[in-house]
Amino acid sequence: MTKIFTIGSGRNGTKSMAVILGATFNKSFHEYQQLVKERRRTYIHMGYAGPQLKAKIRKYQKMGEFHDSDNCNTVFMHHLCKAFPDAKILLPIGSVRSFVRAHRAWGIMGPKDKNVNTRMFPTDNCWANWPIVAKLAWLWGKRNIEAIKRSDRKRLMVFRTKDISKKLEEIFRFVGKPINNRAVKLAKARHNKLTWDTEVVRAVEREIDQNMEYIERAVIPFKRAIERFYPHVFK
Q: Which domains does the chain have, with CATH numbers?
A: 3-234 (3.40.50)
Q: What is the DSSP track for 135-185?
A: HHHHHHHHHHHHHHHHS-GGGEEEEEGGGTTTTHHHHHHHHT----HHHHH
Tell me what pLDDT residue 235 has: 63
**Greatest Cα-to-Cα distance within the chain, rounded to the nearest angstrom:** 50
Residue 108 CA to residue 36 CA, distance in Å, equals 14
- Rounded to an integer, what distance in angstroms lies between the CA atom of residue 126 and that of residue 57? 35
pTM exceeds cut of 0.85 = yes
CB 120 within 8 A of CB 143: yes
Q: What is the pLDDT of residues 149-197, one digit of tens each?
A: 999 999 999 999 999 999 999 999 999 999 999 999 999 887 777 788 8
